[in-house]
Amino acid sequence: MNFRDKDILLAFGKNLKKIRSQKNFTQERLAYTSNITLSQIARIETGKINPTLCTIITIAKTLGVEYKELFDFEIPDISLNS
């Protein structure tokens, strides 16, 4: 994973945490109701792993949001040529 990827994953995780909190879900509740491990939720929110599309859609359904809301964040300014 390069630095650009890490920045994007961190931004995604931060947005997920914001939405989760707004929906009054703890990480534990999200993990339990989505059947995704607590450690995986924590690693997604901290940008340590790149979740699959299926995982993202499962999280969105569990939180009661459109999956595209999870992608509604500012992408860090990166150069695609570096």
| Contact assessment for residue 63 and residue 18, using Cβ atoms and an 8 Å cutoff | no
pLDDT digits (tens, 9 = 90+) for 16-71: 999 999 999 999 999 999 999 999 999 999 999 999 999 999 999 999 999 999 99
Q: Where are the domains of the chain?
A: 3-71
CATH superfamily of 3-71: lambda repressor-like DNA-binding domains (1.10.260.40)
Q: Say what angle helices 38-45 and 53-63 make with each other, to 10 degrees.
A: 100
Residues 6+ away with beta carbon under 8 Å from 23: 63, 64, 65
- What pLDDT does 56 receive? 98
Reported as a single tens digit per residue, the pLDDT across 23-37 is 999 999 999 999 999
The dihedral built from the CA positions of residue 5, 11, 14 and 20, taken in this order, carries a sign that is negative
